[in-house]
Structure 1
Amino acid sequence: MSLKAVTLALALLAITGAQADISAEQVANVVWNYFTQLSDNAKETMDQLQQSEISKQLNTLFQENLQNVNAYAGDLQKKLIPFATELHAKLTEDSEKLKEQIQRELKELRLKLSPYADEVHQQISKNIQELQQKLSPYAEELRGQVNQNADLLRQQLAPYAQELRDKLQENVEGLQAALAPYADQLQQQIDKNVEGMKDKLAPLADELKVKIDQNMEELRKSLAPYAEEVQDKLNRQIEGLSFQMKKGAEELRVKLSDNVEELRRKLGPYTEELKEKLRSDAEGLRQSLTPYVEGLSGQMDQKIEEFRQTVAPYGEAFNKQLVQKVEEMRQKLGPYAGEVEDHLSFLEKDVRDKIAAFFSTIQQIEN
């Protein structure tokens, strides 16, 4: 089995073994990543299309690990492996056909819209301006939430460093016992603030998806009078654009979550280092801890500031990305547009739709 086939198998096994209630989105990500990796090399793609052999080897891998999963997950594996393998084979076969179809549709759409080129251009330009206006508050809200949460985290952690300094200055016996609770309290405060930050940032992606749907519907309505004869082709292009934009919103959600978790990982070693120093001998404890505590607050502030500087601009960058995608559509619909290579976005949408339908069917059978 090739390395990439093994990667697919292990990825599917990991998400299946971890929980019985696998999401269609998880499987879609695995299958799509596998497809795009193989698509990078045409010869390799053809070599990997031995469906029966892939299914056999994947099943072998899963059967060896079935003792690690429950009965439901095991049954789902048996259904999922051949489905995913068959889907990949069909996708590879259909990719070039879809590319040709999209190009034909675009040519016909351009031809029908060409008498109204100026009006179409104006309508899409108007949509871009409206999109910028709608997205601007979300970029500001994201920046404000990041700044607010970073400041709150800094304020919450600062007293612990100060209390540690105060304790060190006191000439008390049992210094280790007196300082021991601070390490756990510091970690608890980090975890609490990080989770709160994630809870506040996550809903922004859902709000963006709602705005994207609204804006795409407005774009469709504004262009409908000019494309009555090819409405289905126009709708297809707008659906592809909407899919790309909402995928970008989901990627933004993941980036935000990953950066918050990265901040947790960067702050975590400070509590571990404090615990390690507290395990040293009592005589050298004060000497060891003093320089550490003196620099603790500044070092944590630096990590928090790095997080803020990295994440705060994400909103503006995302807005530019969405506006650029609408601009690309305007160029695609122009009378002098060249050939396009974005059929993969339509193919990916098909992947996710098919996998969602597969999971829906499985749930109906079980019910």
Structure 2
Amino acid sequence: MIVKAVIMSLALVAGTSAMPEMNNDNVNISVSADEVATVVWDYLSQLKHDANGTVEQRAELTQKLKNLFHENMLERSHDKLFPDEMEKELVPFAIDLYKCLTKESEKRKDEIQKELEDLQVEIEPHFQEVRQKIRDNACLLQERLEPYFNVLNGSVERMKFLNAQVLKCVNDLDNGPSDNAESLQDLVSSMPNKIKKNITMNLLKFQAVLMALKQEVKKTIGQSMKELSHSLAPFVKNMDKLDHQLEGLSFQLKKETVKLVTNFSARIHKLWKVLEPLPEAMLRVNMDEMEKSLANLNKLVEEQVKIFQCKVSSYIENFNKVMGQKVEEFGQKLGPHAGYMDDHLIFLEKELKEKVKALFKEIQNRKTGNLPISNPPEAGTELNPLEQNSANLG
């Protein structure tokens, strides 16, 4: 109940802050720094050769970021959603940063490999005990995450009431002032907008729950990693090396959290795109056809909600399974003679995403006047300790 109360209170704040935008007919689900950083990383890391900052590469990355903004906005006017600063600053910065990081990739690979080998040597005499502690940590993490999943499952279940305003309109029509044609016409005229606003508001509330849940899950992961570090301390002489590896694990777990929320958000947006035009399209009929149109609209809303629930039903189960697998893999790679698993790529992705997110947030704040202009973060800045980073990764 405490977990649910925390999430719902945070969600209420997030949902309330979105209401003025809805009242201005300019409702949106904003693009997060996590999503921007993920698009940048996915594009650059899939290049067959190192990004060299060609005009074509910059144009393609710019277009991918524009698509991200367009696909995640709940409004019809997109021309102002991709600020010039994103194209002028973020894209070249990201490409240059990727070039810098990949040039040092082999060096980083050797360093990570040596770090792992040193840890394996230290842990080998105690490996079975270490592995059990890691498994216990994985089980405890999954146990702590279960209440959040219950909240999310509850939000999915409540989507079946998305047709509540449609049913209210049916009831209002049945009990309307049949002897007053003008009042009845006013009632009918208001129905499309009321239904549209109700659909949008409920989807915004769901999105607000997702955003609050993401932050709470990240905090839980961060705390779990600190506890794991503490439990393994007796078996390791160099805690800096262990904590550095735990930073990589923390990043992976939080990355999966962002992926879960992004998948849910995409489905919410898709549902909104299907449902939002329907009231206007289906209810602009004469009085005699209104009852039938409302019934058809109700049926369509119910069908789309069932499709939504079916699509997202596996997300939580898969997420919980992956979380356990990632922690288990961490235990395996600390074992004697474990194979190298390109761990340097985890840290390459982590560093690039952190710096892209920092610049993106700075541009956002600059646009709204929240913060003074500062220099973009430089490539090559050393990674922060686990204790400082655990709440900000992924």
Shorter-chain TM-score tier: 0.7 to 0.9
Sort the Cα spacing of 1:293 and 1:257 in 2 relative to 1 into closer, same or farther, 3 A: same
TM-score w.r.t. the length of structure 2 is 0.69
Residues 170-197 of structure 1, C-alpha deviations (whole Å, 9 max, x = no match): 7996887663322222112212222222
Alignment-mate amino acid for residue 189 of structure 1: N
TM-score, scaled to structure 1: 0.73
CA distance in 1, matches of 2:88, 2:292: 59
Corresponding position of 1:91: 101
Task: Select the residue among 246, 259, 263 that pairs with 1:251.
Answer: 259
- Written as runs of structure 1 = structure 2, the 5 A alignment for 1:288-307 is 291-307=292-308
Superposed displacement of residue 199, structure 1: 2.1
Structure 1 CA distance for aligned equivalents of residues 253 and 181 of structure 2: 62
Give the conservation status (yes or no) of the 8 Å contact 1:187–1:268.
yes
Map Cα deviations across residues 136-194 of structure 1 (whole Å, 9 max, x no partner).
Answer: 211112112321x3144233432224445777xx7996887663322222112212222
Which residue identity lines up with residue 115 of structure 1 in the other structure? P
Q: Give the drift of 1:224.
A: 1.3
Pick one of 271, 274, 279 that aligns with 1:271.
279
Find the counterpart in structure 1 of residue 382 from structure 2: none
Q: Following the alignment from structure 1 to structure 2, what is the Cα–Cα distance between the partners of residues 179 and 172?
A: 12
Cα distance in 1, alignment partners of residues 56 and 301 from structure 2: 50
Displacement after TM superposition at 1:81 (Å)? 5.5
Q: Deviations over 1:112-151 (max 9, x none)?
A: 211111111111111112112111211112112321x314
Give the structure 2 partner of residue 65 of structure 1.
none
> Aligned residue for 1:107?
117
Percent of aligned pairs sharing the same letter: 35
User: Aligned partners of 2:92 and 2:142: how far apart in 1?
Assistant: 44
Task: Choose from 25, 30, 43 the match for 1:34.
Answer: 43
Q: How does 1:311-326 map to 2 (within 5 A)?
A: 311-326=312-327
Structure 2 equivalent of residue 346 of structure 1? 347
Superposed CA offset, 1:302-339 (max 9, x none): 21222233335433332222111101101111224222
Partner residue in 2 for 1:203: 212
* Alignment of 1:310 onto 2:311: yes
Equivalent residues of 2:130, 2:232 under 8 A apart? yes
Counterpart residue number, 1:8:
none
Native 8 Å contact 2:166 2:297 kept in 1: no
The 3-state SS of whatever aligns with 1:363 is coil
Total equivalences in the alignment: 317
Tell me what 1:139 maps to. 149
User: Aligned partners of 1:56 and 1:118: how far apart in 2?
Assistant: 48
CA RMSD between the two structures: 3.6
Residue 127 of structure 2 contacts residue 335 of structure 2 at CA under 8 Å; is this kept in 1? yes
**Which ranges of structure 2 fall in alignment gaps of 5 or more residues?**
1-30, 63-78, 363-370, 377-394
